[in-house]
Structure 1
């Protein structure tokens, strides 16, 4: 059994097409089919059901995939560990960020990391804090940047606080509040809001603040992206509350201080299991305490 055969099987399983799998693997289809047939002969069973109309995994193929993925991951890890032993950082680095992260300049940090470690390939995913924590726990991400209410801490991952911030209100430039001074939550509660989806960390911090003050509010629009949220605010569709350090990069909105605004804590989190050399190098670059040369 060869690693390349496993790669071919995974490519077919993910594309459900021998033609597309061959294109992905940069080989002719006949060579890919031949190698998979050799593997099936060695295993004594078919991994795929093939007809003129479709390709699908057999039960044996389904059983083969998890171990094949682990084997390929281990082989890749062996390569990067050997490289790290001679002072070269390479491999893959997967990073997750919330759209409103402000404590770290993510593009600038990635630029510096890329200059130092040009052989590392980087995957950047944008999502909500709770989703990113789950992906780090499950191994889909190695590092993630979050924003959480002060009473909430990331669970099941290693974490380090990178910043504290308070929320401010943002309104359209022609909104009546735009010409007023600081406001409180009670004054804001009479407005319609544009906010992140319910039960996300970014939404919860505002919901908790209004609830603690004995207030309710009307969230007329739910948006998954903070930049688009600001665009809706700029069109006069509602008021929003966003981190103060994040708002200066927005255009077309006016910022209002909120006297009893909720706070937010920003974290960087990483997998509690062994880190790759690339993840270790990235955490050291942003000065996370206690990160040595080795995971």
Structure 2
């Protein structure tokens, strides 16, 4: 079994095509197909079902894929560790970010990181906090920026707290409450809300606050992107609650402090298996030099 064969299998699984996989791996399709067939003979099982219309993993392929990905990650990490031992940071760094990350200016930090470590390939995944934790534990994301209610902590990962904040009301400019110095959850509950999908950490911050106050509210529109949320608010389709440190990025809306606002905490999280050299360099850039000895929940 060779690493290149594993790369081919992964590329086919991700692209759903032998042709596109060969293009990604910069080889002719016949060579890729030959190596995959050779691997299948060695394993004694077919990894892919092929028809004229599509390619999909067999049950054997589904069970093989996670270990194949882990082998490739381990090989890449081994090469990165050797490079780091001689003073060079390279390899891959995949970051996960929530839509409302505010503790760090991600584009600015990534620009600085790329300037310092040009041989590191940077990847970015945007998702909710729950999904990002799963991606970290699964090894698909090296570091993740999370936002959780003040009553919660990341579970199953190492983490560092980055910042604490409170939510504010986000309103259309012509909304009657825009002239108020502040507003309560009870008053906001008379409005229709735009919010993140139910079950997400972003939604839980608001849901828990209203539940604790014994107040019901109507969430009419659920979206995953904060900028779309602001656009819907701007059109007068509802009000929203978003972190106060994030809302200055929004245009065309007005924010009002909430007297009994829910709190939220931003974290940086990573796998319990430790940091790659590239991830360690990124943590140092954020002034988290002791990231190798974090708390675990």
CA distance in structure 2 between the partners assigned to 1:53 and 1:207 by the alignment: 45
Aligned length: 293
Structure 1 residues 185 and 86, CA gap change in structure 2 (3 angstroms): same
Unaligned residue ranges in structure 1 (runs of 5+): none
CA shift for structure 1 position 37: 3.8
Equivalent residue, structure 2, for 1:258? 258
Report the CA distance shift for 1:209/1:42 in structure 2 as closer, same or farther (over 3 A). closer
Question: Deviation of residue 241 (structure 1)?
Answer: 0.9
C-alpha distance in 1 between matches for 2:292 and 2:59: 44
Separation in structure 1 between the aligned mates of residue 243 and residue 7 of structure 2, nearest angstrom: 44
> What's the offset of the Cα at 1:38?
3.9
Q: What SS does structure 2 have at the residue aligned with 1:82?
A: helix
Q: Which residue of 2 aligns with 1:148?
A: 148
Residue 90 of structure 1: how far off its partner (Å): 0.8
Cα distance in structure 1, aligned partners of 2:194 and 2:288? 34
TM-score (norm 1): 0.91
Residue pair 1:98, 1:127 contacting (<8 A) in 2 also: yes
Q: What is the CA-CA distance between 1:119 and the residue it aligns to?
A: 0.8
Distance in 1 of aligned mates of 2:39 and 2:147: 47
Verify: 1:82 aligned to 2:82, yes or no.
yes
- Cα distance in structure 2, aligned partners of 1:15 and 1:57: 11
Separation of aligned partners in 2, 1:273 and 1:225 = 31
Q: Is the 8 A contact 1:284 1:292 kept in 2?
A: no
Question: 1:200 aligns to what?
Answer: 200
* 1:127-276 to 2 correspondences below 5 Å: 127-276=127-276
The DSSP-based 3-state class of the residue aligned with 1:264 is strand
Q: 1:60 to 1:178 in 2, by over 3 A?
A: closer
- How far 1:16 moved relative to its partner? 4.0
**Runs of 4+ in structure 1 over 4 Å off:** 40-64
Alpha-carbon offset, residue 134 of structure 1: 2.0
Instruction: Report Cα offsets for 1:26-67 as digits up to 9, x if no partner.
Output: 112222233334444555665445555554555554554344
The alignment partner of 1:30 has SS state of helix
Decide which structure has the larger Cα Rg and report it. 1
TM-fit CA distance, 1:129: 1.4
In 2, Cα distance between the equivalents of 1:197 and 1:44?
Answer: 44
- The CA RMSD over aligned residues, in Å, is 2.2
2:25 match:
25
Secondary structure of the corresponding residue to residue 241 of structure 1: strand
Larger CA deviation: 6-15 vs 183-192: 6-15
